[in-house]
């Protein structure tokens, strides 16, 4: 029963473009259909089917991506059988283009003596748009030429229902925008803490400014870097595989717990950062109250994210017990 529910959740995951109500209706209908097929198999065999026999039943039904394709409207350029795979490949290509252009823009800022952030942002958007147009054209052309000559089975002919990810949260997908914002913010924090950006200068006035970290915050850099690196990897995983599984929830929860401990540690520090204006010789230091206010906000956001993960884990556990 758990294997059937996992199969249905994966099908619903590939139906993310449909309205939520229709996606739930399709999932319930498919679940009932598969349960009936399992009951018929039990009557034929004379005993309750084991995991291998249920897996064989699901394999005959088809890969979840292929089954989901039957519920989408008819496509013209890309065949119905290949359309879900086409969408997945296209998303990955566009994501890689955006990340690569972002890395190029950041490297340009780091290596430039007078970084222009607005120009870099415009360049990133322009490069991503142009690259996205070319990527979309080539991916679409490739799938169009494949057409009916390449079936879905040619790509996923050896798939195993028992290796499907155990999707939780009723097949709800992780928002790409949220994951992208998380990735960008984390990368910027990682670059800022490790002085990857040069001091922001104004060559004409000679009074640029730079961010200064206290010795207390610098002593915590190894721990902060480890937590930030783990957050970057998790954000990338959410972008490329936008669904929750038990293992992903546990890992994300552990990362959140680590950040809560670090926030509690950071909260106890005195003034930890400031801004220094070059030739003017002016130094501004964030007050302890403002510093603790910022850390408290980060703590609350992280705690809320951890609570939501625990709720998803509890719901997943309840469903597993029901389907056992």
pLDDT digits (tens, 9 = 90+) for 126-150: 888 888 888 888 888 887 777 655 5
Look up tokens 């996992």; give the residue: 6
Dihedral angle over CA of 265, 268, 270, 274, nearest 10: 40
User: Regarding predicted confidence, which is higher, 198 or 240?
Assistant: 240
Based on C-alpha coordinates, what's the Rg of the chain?
Answer: 25
Does residue 207 surpass a pLDDT of 50?
no
| Region of poorest pLDDT, from 31-35, 71-75, 99-103, 215-219 | 71-75
C-alpha distances (whole Å) from 77 to each of 56, 74, 131, 140, 144 are 32, 10, 21, 8, 6
Name the average pLDDT for the chain: 78
**Average pLDDT of the segment spanning 78-95:** 76
pTM value surpassing 0.95: no
**Are 173 and 243 spatial neighbours (Cβ–Cβ below 8 Å)?**
yes
């Amino acid at each position: 029963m758990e294997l059937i529910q996992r199969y249905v959740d994966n099908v619903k995951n590939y139906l993310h473009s449909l309205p939520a109500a229709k996606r739930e209706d399709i999932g319930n209908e498919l679940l009932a259909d598969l349960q009936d097929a399992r009951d018929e198999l039990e009557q034929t065999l004379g005993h309750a089917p084991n995991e291998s026999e249920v897996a064989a039943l699901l394999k005959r039904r088809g890969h979840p991506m292929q089954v989901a394709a039957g519920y989408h409207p008819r496509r013209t350029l890309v065949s119905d059988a290949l359309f879900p795979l086409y969408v997945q490949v296209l998303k990955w290509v566009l994501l890689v283009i955006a990340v690569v252009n972002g890395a190029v823009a950041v490297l340009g800022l780091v290596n430039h003596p007078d970084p222009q952030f607005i120009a870099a942002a415009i360049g990133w958007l322009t490069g991503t748009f142009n690259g996205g147009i070319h990527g979309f054209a080539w991916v679409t052309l490739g799938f169009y030429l494949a057409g009916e000559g390449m079936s879905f089975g040619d790509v996923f002919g050896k798939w195993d229902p028992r290796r499907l990810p155990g999707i939780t949260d009723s097949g709800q997908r992780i928002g790409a925008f949220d994951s992208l914002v998380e990735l960008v913010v984390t990368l910027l924090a990682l670059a800022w803490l490790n002085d990857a950006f040069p001091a922001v200068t104004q060559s004409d006035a000679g009074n640029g400014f730079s961010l200064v970290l206290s010795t207390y915050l610098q002593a915590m850099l190894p721990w902060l870097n480890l937590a930030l690196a783990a957050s970057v990897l998790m954000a990338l995983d959410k972008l490329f595989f936008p669904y929750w599984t038990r293992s992903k929830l546990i890992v994300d929860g552990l990362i959140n717990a680590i950040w809560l401990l670090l926030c509690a540690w950071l909260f106890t520090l005195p003034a930890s950062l400031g801004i220094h204006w070059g030739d003017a010789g002016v130094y501004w230091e964030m007050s302890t109250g403002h510093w603790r206010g910022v850390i408290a906000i980060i703590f609350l956001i992280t705690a809320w994210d951890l609570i939501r993960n625990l709720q998803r884990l509890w719901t997943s556990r309840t469903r597993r017990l029901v389907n056992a």
